[in-house]
Structure 1
Amino acid sequence: MARDLDLNSLPLFLALAETHSFTATAERLGCTKTRVSLKISQLEAHLGVTLFQRTTRRVQLTQAGHSLYQAIQPEMQMLQAALHHTQIEEHQLTGELRISAPEDYAVAVLGAAVADFAQQHPELRIDLRSADPISNMVEEGVDLAFRLGWLRDSSLRARELGQFEQYLLAAPSYLAAQGTPTHPQQLVEHRWIALNLLRAPLTWTFQQADQPQRVQMKAQISAHSTAGLKALLVAGAGISILPDLSVRSEIEQGQLVRLLPHWSLPPGAIYAVYPPSRRQPARVRAFVDFFQRWSASRSIPMVGRA
């Protein structure tokens, strides 16, 4: 019987119990006296008891009505408090914001942005998770993920923030020992380091004017993270490709050399990715907007216009 109960009648019951007036209850809840009377009559019929003694001047709880009021009024208060708290977290920057990003990007860019954002919103807890393997946002409770490259999961919603270049790289020590390639097809003769996070880590297409060159590499060494790949490159283990921003300091310091700069590789994109829910929480929207302003003010080359 409880499963068939119209729960919409309970707020009317509580209001009538407190106001002792159909008119006052209707005014409090913004409905008609007829609706209040109908819902209370339906509730009494459903429960099989009389909840109110009605007179021309006053509506008074019966013993059964008083017992019901005592039972559900505290639960209703708890429910209203929970709903209010949820509404505050939705529209104000409170609660927890879980962000996921590739390790190199978190170190090079995102960490500083999160630190500045946290200072502006001290009531918001931020959990920054940096890992190259793509996580399951729903299972891990991630609110926002930054992903570089090309999206695979079509169930997720994404907003492209900008694009980045891909650089072909090697260490000076490797080039001194193995020589410097001058054409993409020469790469098949070199030691290639494969990044296994990619869909096709051994196949790359280089472009110069209208001359595409598709090259199929052979890899003795592979890495499962961009940080690991960069360490192998710096150590002189071979040649590979990484996003420009993640190796900018290594190039400036002479630890890595960009190869074949007159040949371009397909650009990648950076995305703000959201789980497949109907609505983004205010804290997520606020951080993405902040991050775009923050990166633009610092001329971060990896983030362009949305």
Structure 2
Amino acid sequence: MRSAGGREINLNRLVVFASIVSAGSFTAAARELGLTKAMVSQHLARLEEELGITLMLRTSRKMSLTEAGLTFHPDCVRILAETQAAIERISQDRQALVGTLRLTSTTDYGVTVLGPALAEFMRRYPKLYVELVLSDEIRDLVAERFDLSIRVGWLRDSSAHAMRLAQCRRWVVASPTYLALRGTPREPGELSAHDWIAAPLLPAPSTLTFIGNNGSRHAVRVRPVAEVNSASAIRELILNHVGLSALPEYLVADDIRAGRLALLLGPDYRLRTAGIYAVYPSQRAPAKVRLLIDHLRQRLVPGPE
């Protein structure tokens, strides 16, 4: 936390300041906090330096709050009380996380991204039993008793509740060997001359709409040579020089960095960005669902549309 002057504020010093006021003296505050009187005085002096104001006037015999100190003290007490309450709430949630958390996700995203994030969550809440069902079909959360679904793409109209966790860009990729044989497309329209591997789960598997840097839209109809319902399987076909396709960045980013795949048409043209969503059946999600969503939101940094 920073002051208005841009200086870093050590929140531990707020505890010292509040203790001095409540205890009535530096000596009593030092005894209460388990510190020396000199350390208590030093913390107060540094807090005043960080804030750029004088909070307390002290002499060898007495101390008194300045006008700024009188204004700051109730806010300081409120901040500390809210912090303590937040700590108690999260502690209660952690203790309450028992039973079963049943969730579903697409196979590729579950293996590549969700699995590692979920492992970290399970270490944090070891009493929680997790059931993860991977499927590329949209599951019925109510009928199949799922607490949560992690979906990639674009949400259809639904009575369920959803929260966007992150973006998911799609990149057109091909192997260097394929490009050496067939040439490298430089513009969207050139894709129609290449072998395309279609994903039937997309809204229009044979039609792509690219957005140019100036906002212009370029619709292209590609020529599929295969249709595959698994992004991982499409990736394997591309790595084996069968053709081109558009795959999620989380699945091919390492391949592009390693030179196994080449990114095409970027940065001049891009496909519409998909989303990664947490979908749950009821408006008031239980603590286990809320905490997992918070965990995923912190781990998966949301991107722009």
Say yes or no: TM over 0.5. Answer: yes
Give the secondary structure class of the aligned counterpart of 2:205. coil
| Shift, 1:264, TM fit | 1.3
Q: Any idea what SS the aligned residue of 1:138 has?
A: coil
- 2:123 equivalent to 1:119: yes
**Which position in structure 2 is the counterpart of 1:291?**
296
Percent identity between matched residues is 39
Shift of 1:131: 2.3
Q: Give per-residue Cα distances to partners, 1:189-228, cap 9 Å, x unaligned.
A: 1111100111111111112114321001121201101111
2:275 counterpart of 1:243: no
Q: For 2:276, what is the secondary structure of its paired residue?
A: strand
Computed over aligned residues only, the root mean square deviation of the Cα atoms, in angstroms, reads 2.1
Deviation track 1:65-106 (CA, whole Å, cap 9, x = no partner) reads xxxxxxxxxxxxxxxxxxxxxxx9999211110121122222
Write out aligned runs for 1:96-135 (5 A).
Answer: 96-135=100-139
| Cα pair distance change 1:108/1:188, threshold 3 Å | same
The alignment status of 1:273 with 2:288, answered yes or no, reads: no
Query: What's the CA shift string for 1:141-200, capped at 9, x where partnerless?
Result: 211111111011422211112212210111112111111111111111111110011111
Question: Does the CA-based 8 Å contact 2:199-2:229 persist in structure 1?
Answer: yes
| Structure 1 letter corresponding to 2:279 | V
Residue 269 of structure 2 aligns to a residue whose secondary structure is coil
Q: Calculate the TM-score normalised by the size of structure 1.
A: 0.65
Aligned match of 1:213: 218
**1:48 aligned partner:** none
Separation in 2, partners of 1:254, 1:136: 40
What letter corresponds to residue 205 of structure 2 in structure 1? P
1:179-190 residue pairs with structure 2 within 5 A? Answer: 179-190=183-194
Structure-2 separation of matches of 1:273 and 1:90: 22
**Offset of 1:107 from its aligned partner?**
2.1
2:180 aligned with 1:204: no
1-structure distance, mates of 2:217, 2:276: 24
Amino acid at match of 1:254: G
CA separation in 1, counterparts of 2:215 and 2:285?
A: 43
SS of 1:229's equivalent in the other structure is: helix
Distance 1:269 1:218, change over 3 A: same
Deviation at 1:109, TM superposition (A): 1.6
TM-score, structure 2 normalization: 0.65
CA contact (8 A) 1:132 1:226 kept: no
Q: 2:141 matched to which residue of 1?
A: 137
Which of 156, 164, 169 in structure 2 is aligned with 1:165? 169
Mapped contact 2:196–2:222 kept (Cα < 8 A): yes
Name the CA distance, whole Å, in 2 between partners of 1:89 and 1:96.
14
CA contact (8 A) 2:165 2:300 kept: no
Total equivalences in the alignment: 211
Q: Quote the Cα distance in structure 2 between the aligned partners of 1:230 and 1:148.
A: 17
Structure 2: tracts of 5 or more residues without a match: 1-91
Q: Secondary structure at the match of 1:133?
A: coil
Q: Measure the CA separation in 1 of the matches of 2:271 and 2:192.
A: 16
Alignment correspondent of 1:151: 155
Deviations 1:10-46 (A, max 9, x none): xxxxxxxxxxxxxxxxxxxxxxxxxxxxxxxxxxxxx
1:232 to 193, 213, 237: 237
Separation (CA, whole Å) in 2 of partners of 1:279 and 1:90 = 18
User: Could you report, residue by residue, the CA deviation over 1:98-147 in whole angstroms, capped at 9, with x for unpaired residues?
Assistant: 12112222222211111111111111101122222222222222111111
Please give the secondary structure, in 2, of the residue aligned with 1:154: coil
The aligned counterpart of 2:227 is 222
| CA distance in structure 1 between the aligned counterparts of 2:286 and 2:231, rounded to whole angstroms | 30
- Higher-Rg structure is 1
